[in-house]
Amino acid sequence: MTDGEAGHQLHAALTDVGRVRAHNEDAFLAEPTVGLYAVADGMGGHAAGEVASAMAIETLRERLAGREAPDPRASDPADLRDRLAQTLRDAGRAIHDRGRERPEQRGMGTTATSLLLRPDGGLLIGHVGDSRAYRLRGGELSRMTRDHTVVQERVERGELTPEQARHHPASGVLTRALGVPEAITPDTHAGEWEEGDLYLLCSDGLTGMLSDDELRRTLRSGGAESGRPEALEELARALVDAANERGGRDNVTVVLVRPDGAA
Ligand code: CA
């Protein structure tokens, strides 16, 4: 677990192998100095999923938070949105190329869900796959990403309820991922954060085990003590513990961010 206080953000991040899997193929990124956070959930045999998720996270770090990267806080929002999308596309291409070079890593892939918080109040999301970003504002929980899954398309066609989708045997079948042979288009979303917001990035090891309503209740229970750094760490731990108590069938990763944490 890490926690940090820089600029006006508090964050806590935690990843856990769960109760069933032998390896943790999830990865996360927390760079509070530039307001960049991400979760990646890798897939592929022979531990290749770990390679894919680490490559996605490292590409985001280098391009958006590295020494060579232009300061995302000083960049034009439209340019930054393009750069975020291009970074995800490039990460996908690099993962695919690596998989072609090494037979044991062939076919590896990863999700990537990233959040960039700007000091001027703007936020950007870049997203591919079925990891998610949520916002808790005024006690209401909103999903800020759309799952790139076959079951999500069936929910949108009215063929499945969200609860049925969550328990569906094909719930993990992705329609978009980093590392696939085809060119993919990341979803990007620009918006604004407000004081009091709480953001959650997570892998499907959390959302497969807990409904949105259960997430909301847990997040609200930690909302009363905003501003206390340990409260966010405790909340991250409570989310991971809840997923494990339900069976922990997959790796679980959570990143929590309060944009005005130090205010
Ligand atoms: Ca997963």
Structure confidence by residue, pLDDT tens digits, 169-224: 999 999 999 999 999 999 999 999 999 999 999 999 999 999 999 999 999 987 55
Ligand 1 centroid distance, CA of 84 (Å): 23
Structure tokens that stand for 39 in this block: 């979760």
Ligand 1 centroid distance, CA of 204 (Å): 5
Give the CA count within 13 Å in the CB-facing half-sphere of 189.
17
Q: Are 63 and 69 in contact (CB under 8 A)?
A: yes
CA distance 223 to 54: 31
pLDDT digits over 29-38, tens only? 999 999 999 9
Q: What letter does residue 182 receive in the DSSP assignment?
A: S
For residue 175, what are the contacts with CB-CB under 8 A and spacing of at least 6? 148, 149, 150, 153
Residue 70 is predicted with a pLDDT of 78
Residue 72 is predicted with a pLDDT of 66
Output the pTM of the full model: 0.94
In percent, how much of the chain has pLDDT > 90?
82
| CB burial string 231-247: b at 16+ within 10 A, e below | bbbbbbeebbebbbeee
Sheet holding 198-202, edge to edge: 2-6, 9-16, 252-258, 198-202, 132-137, 140-143
> What's the chain's average pLDDT?
91
SS3 (DSSP) at 137: strand
CA distance 236 to 1: 9
Residue 6 is predicted with a pLDDT of 43
**Cα dist. 139→68, 144, 207, 215 in Å?**
39, 15, 19, 11
Ligand 1 centroid distance, CA of 108 (Å): 13
In percent, how much of the chain has pLDDT > 70?
94
What backbone torsions phi and psi does residue 261 show, to the nearest 5 degrees? -60, -30
Ligand 1 centroid distance, CA of 220 (Å): 24
CA distance 242 to 256: 16
pLDDT digits over 5-61, tens only? 445 789 999 999 999 999 999 999 999 999 999 999 999 977 899 999 999 999 999
Ligand 1 centroid distance, CA of 17 (Å): 10
Ligand 1 centroid distance, CA of 263 (Å): 34
CA distance 20 to 131: 19
Residue 260 is predicted with a pLDDT of 79
Q: Are 182 and 228 in contact (CB under 8 A)?
A: no
What backbone torsions phi and psi does residue 176 show, to the nearest 5 degrees? -140, 140
Structure tokens that stand for 158 in this block: 């009215």
Please give the residue that has the higher pLDDT: either 197 or 72.
197
Q: Which residues pair with 141 in a beta bridge?
A: 136
Q: What letter does residue 143 receive in the DSSP assignment?
A: E
CA distance 248 to 251: 7
Q: How confident is the model at residue 2 (pLDDT cuts 50, 70, 90)?
A: very low
Pick from 226-230, 249-253, 257-261: least confident: 226-230
CA distance 198 to 257: 6
Ligand 1 centroid distance, CA of 101 (Å): 25
Ligand 1 centroid distance, CA of 40 (Å): 9
**Which residues hold their Cβ within 5 A of ligand 1, which is an ion?**
41, 203-205, 250
Ligand 1 centroid distance, CA of 131 (Å): 8
Residue 50 is predicted with a pLDDT of 96
Structure tokens that stand for 68 in this block: 């060579």
CA-based nearest residue to 192, from 117, 263, 137: 117
Q: Which residues pair with 136 in a beta bridge?
A: 141, 198
